Structure 1
Amino acid sequence: MLDSGPINGSGGETEKGVPVPVAEGESRPYEEVYTEYAAEATRTLDRSELPQSVQSLVRSYFTEIQPNR
């Protein structure tokens, strides 16, 4: 499946989030990436006024993709 969405600077929105401390083209272990993104999602849920159903959906998503499950 190819992503034909906008490329940097061509109208798409960019959201600042977890920094990715690797050079372009390098990869990181899934467990490391998951831990950082799950922690950021938890911080966001804790300070956000999202409906409970949306909060539950986000928590369920991270439970489903958790490594070593």
Structure 2
Amino acid sequence: MQGEGQIENDFGPSTGGTTQNGGQSPMIDGTTRPYNEVYGEYAAEAKRTLGRTQLPASMQDKVKQYFDQIQPD
């Protein structure tokens, strides 16, 4: 896509800084689970979280609508 405006480049050095290593990832290399299997877990956790938080009703409705829209057939 062609954009508009002036192109700016940062010609500063690309080295430096520090690297931080985090903890262990919950992801297991080489494994996948079917979408329809994990959807139920994610939707249930979202519902539990909505019950504990003080989100405005309109935001709670948005979360519910989101999970309704991505629900597997």
Pick the TM interval, shorter chain: 0.5 to 0.7
AA at the equivalent of 1:50: L
Q: TM-score, normalised by structure 1?
A: 0.64
Name the count of aligned residue pairs.
Answer: 50
Q: TM-score, normalised by structure 2?
A: 0.61
1:23 deviation in Å? 2.5
Structure 2: 5+ residue runs without aligned partners?
1-19
SS in 1 for 2:28: coil
Deviations for 1:30-60, whole angstroms, at most 9, x for unmatched residues? 1111000000000000111100111000000
Q: Distance in 2 between matches of 1:24 and 1:42?
A: 29
Of the three residues 40, 50, 55, the one matched with 1:35 is 40
Higher RCO by CA contacts (8 Å cutoff, separation 6 or greater) = 2
Q: Which residue of 2 aligns with 1:57?
A: 62
Q: Which residue of 2 aligns with 1:17?
A: none
Structure 1: 5+ residue runs without aligned partners?
1-8, 11-19
